[in-house]
A and B are shown apart, each in its own frame.
Chain A
Amino acid sequence: MVELPPKVTIMKGASPDLSAATYQIHDESHTIGNALRWMLMKNPKVEFCGYSVPHPSENVIQVRIQMYDNLSSLAALITALGDLDDVCATIEEKYIADMQAGDYERWVERS
């Protein structure tokens, strides 16, 4: 089996305290990139956040995070991931609740 690259790496040029760093996330795309960027930008301690897919044939995204007050961007990243999981959990909960309420139109479609 081929050895897989680590899922997340910190790219060269990050500040030693990680207050500004670019994270390379392997095997991810705009799906996670844009959602994660949005959640990071919701954090008032984040000065800048952007992501890119450097090349379409490389299955990699790069997320740049710069923090105010020399805070750790890694901590912000982990918090954002946690918050994103909360978003998913909340949407799932409401979707299932409304499904179980059963207040929708049912119809039959030919297949």
Chain B
Amino acid sequence: MATTYDSRRLVGIKAERVTDVSSRDFPGHYPDEDHSWNLEKFRENLTVKIRRVSNRSIDFDLVGVDASIANAFRRIIIAEVPTICIENVYVYNNTTVIADEILAHRLGLIPLNIDPKAMEMRVDDESTDRNTIVFELKLECTRKKDAPKDSTNPSELYNNHELLSGHLVWQPAGEQEEVFSKNPPAPTNPNIVLAKLRPGQVVEMTLHAVKGVGKDHAKFNPVATASYRLLPNIVIKKPIPPHLAEKFQKCFSPGVIRIHPRTKAVTVDEENKRKDTVSREVLRHPEFEGFVELSRVRDFFLFNIESESAYPPQRLFTEAIAVMRGKISSIRRAAEALGDQPSDGDVVMADS
């Protein structure tokens, strides 16, 4: 049986426009209905369902929250969940064709496998073993003695003709050796090409990696993508004529529409309807006019998060919640402190 949604939860999708985009669940919007904040009701309505998890990404449904809340988490994952990246590059020698600043920029973008929980934010450029990880980068390209005469393949002709992320060598300092003993700091992928070298070219650098957030620089962004979309909803208003069944099916993404093999009855696959792209192709054909209604469910968020950092994908959402709660508590503390002060900007003497 198809799930039907309360029409108030639906964002209508018409051929040329969308309808009922904004949420209206505020007190006073509907007469004689109570829409004031109620934690019990919210808890009852809320569903979090994890769908798919891989080593890199997670898909989950967040149902029963307002877009502003879902969007806050998405924004926090992208811009405010901290990661570790190379921030300072000290160049002692670089005779490659890549300019220092370009190479430094490329080094900054390398994802590192360091758990940000194990480090502190660096303040005022004061480096300690708690907030800075040091890497050495040294490479010299040389000619291979026994290279075949007619070869044009650089890997046959030269040693070290590529500077790779795997060439970073961690230099433990202070207590780091102990803290990171289980998982020594290194790039998550050792095969990133940073520069190409030819015989005689040398790179010698010291790199300092620090903790930072995506709003400061995109290299600190812990994800490749963090996005959500609304659950598509397809309602067939009256039976599709059997001779049009296949044409109807082709208007949607594969797997969304099922056709009964014998009766040619057309139904929406409840499990697969989330796969629909809502291309609105079906609304372009006059023969389907009045047969189908497209919409999306306003409070049904299909999250997809792809980690590109040290965080396992399932941890990113909880990290975002922790950051959000941290922000709330700092604002709350400041607001509570305001309560003791006068409001009009005039300084009131303590003994007046």
A contact set with B: CB distance below 8 Å: 1, 6-10, 12, 14, 16, 18, 21, 23, 25, 28-32, 34-35, 37-39, 41-44, 74, 77-78, 81-92, 94-99, 103-109, 111
Inter-subunit contact A85/B124 (CB<8 Å): no
Say whether B325 faces chain A, with CB atoms less than 8 Å apart. Answer: yes
**With A1-B124, A104-B51, A109-B55 in contact, do A91 and B331 touch (Cβ < 8 Å)?**
no
Select which of A44, A84, A104 is within 8 A of B36 by beta carbon: A44
In chain A, what residue has the closest Cβ to B308?
Answer: A111
Inter-subunit contact B317/A44 (CB<8 Å): no
Say whether B272 faces chain A, with CB atoms less than 8 Å apart. Answer: no
Interface class of chain B by DSSP: mixed
Interface 1/0 per residue, B26-64 and A, CB below 8 Å: 111000000111010011001111111111110010100
Inter-subunit contact A44/B71 (CB<8 Å): no
Of B143-151, B173-181, B250-258, B335-343, the one contacting chain A is: B335-343
Inter-subunit contact B334/A7 (CB<8 Å): yes
Inter-subunit contact A39/B37 (CB<8 Å): yes
**With A74-B338, A78-B332 in contact, do A94 and B343 touch (Cβ < 8 Å)?**
no
Inter-subunit contact A14/B343 (CB<8 Å): yes
Inter-subunit contact A81/B338 (CB<8 Å): no
In chain A, what residue has the closest Cβ to B61?
Answer: A98
Bound together, the chains give a CA A91 to CA B322 distance in angstroms of 11
Inter-subunit contact B37/A91 (CB<8 Å): no
In chain B, what residue has the closest Cβ to A81?
Answer: B332
Select which of B42, B71, B334 is within 8 A of A87 by beta carbon: B42
Select which of A43, A84, A91 is within 8 A of B328 by beta carbon: A84
Inter-subunit contact B69/A35 (CB<8 Å): yes
**With A35-B72, A44-B27, A90-B43 in contact, do A107 and B54 touch (Cβ < 8 Å)?**
yes
Q: Mark out the residues of chain B between 165 and 218 whose CB falls within 8 Å of any chain A CB in the assembled complex.
A: 188-189
Inter-subunit contact A105/B53 (CB<8 Å): yes
26 contacts between A and B (CB under 8 A): A1-B123, A6-B334, A10-B345, A30-B71, A31-B75, A31-B76, A32-B327, A35-B71, A38-B66, A41-B27, A42-B35, A42-B37, A43-B37, A44-B36, A84-B328, A85-B332, A88-B325, A89-B325, A90-B46, A98-B60, A99-B50, A105-B52, A106-B54, A107-B52, A108-B54, A109-B56
In chain B, what residue has the closest Cβ to A77?
Answer: B335
Q: Which residues of B contact A1 (CB under 8 A)?
A: 123-124
Q: Which residues of A contact B76 (CB under 8 A)?
A: 31
Identify the 4 closest CB pairs spanning chains A and B, nearest first.
A7-B334, A44-B27, A42-B37, A8-B334
